[in-house]
Amino acid sequence: MWSLPKRKTEYYSSFPGDLRTFVESANIFLMIRIAAPLDSLTAQGWLGRWAYGIHGVVRNPYPIGLGQKIRYPYSMQAFGLRPYPLFIYQYYNRLGWCYQRRRTWHGIVYAAISPPISLNQKTNDQVVKQTKFADAITMWQGFDDTLKDIYNHLRYPNRGTGYNKFISKYMKTEPDPSIGSQIQVMHWDNQAGILNGSNSYIPCFGSSYSSTYATSTDITKEEFVAPSAFTIRNMRVWLWQNFGAGNGYKFTLYKNESPTAITVSIVSSDQDKTDTVNTVDVVAGDRLSLYKEKIGAPASPTRGRGSFEFVHPASKRYVLMGSIQNLTTAATILIQPSGLYTATGNEYLQSFLIPHNVTVKGFYVYLQTAPGAGKSRTFDIYKNGGAVADTGFTISDANKSGSISGLSVSLVPGDLLTVRATNANSPATTHVNVGLIMEPEVDGESAVSLSCVTRTTLPYYLPINGTQGTQATETYCQNISNQTIATLKKVCAYFSVAPGAGKSWRIRAKQNLGFTNIDFSVSDTNKFGQDTVNDYTFPAPGMQSRMFNIYHLPVGAVASPLYGMKNAAVLYIPPA
Question: First vs last Cα of the chain: how many Å apart?
Answer: 23
Q: In a 3-state reduction of DSSP, which class is residue 562?
A: coil
* Residue 107: C-alpha distances to residues 3, 70, 103 (Å): 27, 35, 6
State which amino acid sits at residue 443. D
Between CA 132 and CA 26 the distance in angstroms is 9
77 CB-near residues (< 8 Å, 6+ apart): 71, 83, 84
Apex 218 CA angle, 215 and 222, nearest 5: 55
3-35 core/surface letters (b: 16 or more CB in 10 A; e: else): ebeeeebebbbeeeeebeebbbbbbbbbbbebe
CB distance 193 to 203 below 8 Å: yes
DSSP bridge pairs for 380: 420
- d(Cα 286, Cα 254) in Å, to the nearest integer? 10
Which pLDDT tens digit goes with each residue over 286-297? 999 999 999 998
> Which DSSP symbol is given to 58?
E
Q: Where do the domains of the chain lie?
A: 30-115, 318-440, 445-572
The whole-number pLDDT of residue 122 equals 54
Alpha-carbon distance of 207 to 341, in angstroms, equals: 10
Q: What φ, ψ does residue 194 adopt, rounded to 5°?
A: -70, -40
Question: Residue 284: which of 224, 204, 327, 325 has the closest Cα?
Answer: 224
Q: Please tell me the distance from the alpha carbon of residue 115 to that of residue 20, in angstroms, as a whole number.
A: 8
The rounded distance, in Å, linking the Cα atoms of 560 and 456 is 6
Positions of E strands within 474-576: 479-480, 487-495, 500-511, 514-524, 528-530, 535-537, 547-555, 565-572
Identical topology for domains 318-440 and 445-572: yes
Distance CA 481, CA 235 (A): 10
Question: Which H or E run contains 437?
Answer: strand 430-440
Q: Helices 145-152 and 162-173 sit at what angle, rounded to 10 degrees?
A: 90
pLDDT along the chain (576 residues), means of 10: 32 35 37 38 37 40 37 37 47 52 64 53 65 84 85 74 87 74 80 67 65 68 90 88 87 94 91 90 92 89 83 90 82 83 74 94 94 94 94 94 92 95 91 94 89 70 65 72 81 92 92 87 95 85 64 89 84 82
Residues 6 or more apart whose CB falls under 8 angstroms from that of 151 comprise: 162, 163, 165, 166
Structural Rg of the chain based on CA atoms: 27
Task: Give the DSSP H or E segment for 129.
Answer: helix 124-141
Closest CA to 462 of 565, 538, 557, 560: 565
Residue 227 to residue 403: CA distance in whole angstroms: 8
CB 266 within 8 A of CB 248: yes
Per-residue pLDDT, 106? 67
**Residue pair 159/10 in contact by the 8 Å Cβ criterion:** yes
Going through 144-229 in order, the beta strands assigned E by DSSP cover 182-189, 200-202, 206-207, 224-225
CA neighbor of 411 nearest in space, from 384, 443, 442, 444:
384
- In Å, how far from its chain's centre is CA 48? 39
Q: For domain 445-572, give the CATH number.
A: 2.60.120
Q: How many residues does the chain have?
A: 576
The span from the CA of 194 to the CA of 69, in Å, is 46
| C-alpha atoms less than 13 angstroms from C-alpha of 569 in its C-beta half-sphere | 32
User: What is the residue-wise DSSP string for 318-375?
Assistant: EEEEEEEEEE-S-SEEEE-SSEEEE-BS-HHHH-EE--S-EEEEEEEEEESS--EEEE
| Fold adopted by 318-440 | Jelly Rolls (2.60.120)
CA distance 485 to 571: 10
The pLDDT value recorded for residue 470 is 57
Find the helix or strand (DSSP H, E) in which 57 lies: strand 57-58
Of 565, 502, 576, residue with least CA distance to 178: 576
Instruction: Output phi, psi for 504, to 5 deg.
Output: -160, 160
Q: What is the pLDDT of residue 55?
A: 37
d(CA 240, CA 501): 42
The whole-angstrom separation of Cα 51 and Cα 34 is 8
Half-sphere exposure of 235 (CA within 13 A, CB side): 25
The whole-number pLDDT of residue 328 equals: 78
Query: Which 8-state DSSP code applies to residue 140?
Result: H
The helix (H) or strand (E) run that includes residue 402 is strand 401-404
Q: What are the residues whose beta carbons fall under 8 Å from the beta carbon of 375, sequence distance 6 or more?
A: 396, 397, 423, 424, 425, 426, 427, 428
In this structure, how many other beta carbons lie within 10 angstroms of the beta carbon of residue 89? Answer: 13
- 372 contacts 547 by C-beta, under 8 angstroms: no
The Cβ of residue 420 has, within 10 Å, a number of other Cβ atoms equal to: 22
